[in-house]
Amino acid sequence: NINISICISVYILISVSIFTLTAFYAPWCGYCKKLEPIWYEVGAELKNSGSPVRVGKMDATAYSGVASEFGVRGYPTIKLLKGELAYNYKGPRTKDDIIEFANRVAGPAVRSLPSRQMFEHVQKRHDVLFVYVGGESLLKEKYIDVASELIVYTYFFSASEDVLPEPLTLPELPSVVVFKDGTYFTYDEYEDGSLSSWVNRERFQGYLQIDGFTLYELGETGTDPHYSDHLGALTCRSLGQIVVDFQFGHMNGSDYINSLIMGEVSVPSIIILNTSNEQYFLPSEPVESLEQLILFIRSVLDGTAQAYGGDGVFQRIKRVAYDARSTVMSVFRSSPLLGCFLFGLPLGVISLMCYGICMAESDDGAEDMEMMKREGLTDEEEEEEEEEERRHQTAKLERPGEEDEEEEEEGDEEVEEKSPVEKKLD
- Which residues have a catalytic role annotated? 29, 32
Q: Are the C-beta atoms of 195 and 149 separated by less than 8 Å?
A: no
Q: Are the C-beta atoms of 178 and 184 separated by less than 8 Å?
A: yes
Phi, then psi, of 222 in degrees rounded to 5:
85, -175
Measured N-to-C along each axis, helices 30-48 and 95-106 cross at an angle, to the nearest 10 degrees, of: 60
Helix (H, G, I), strand (E, B) or coil at 249: strand
CA dist., res. 75 & res. 255, Å (int): 20
Helix (H, G, I), strand (E, B) or coil at 145: helix
Handedness of CA 311, 313, 315, 317 (dihedral sign): positive
403 closest CA partner among 416, 414, 392, 413: 392
Q: Are the C-beta atoms of 60 and 25 separated by less than 8 Å?
A: yes
DSSP string, 66-128: HHHHTT--SSSEEEEEETTEEEEE-S---HHHHHHHHHHHHS-SSEE--SHHHHHHHHHH-SS
Sheet holding 85-89, edge to edge: 53-59, 19-25, 77-82, 85-89
Residue 207, H or E segment: strand 207-209
Which DSSP category does 222 fall into?
-
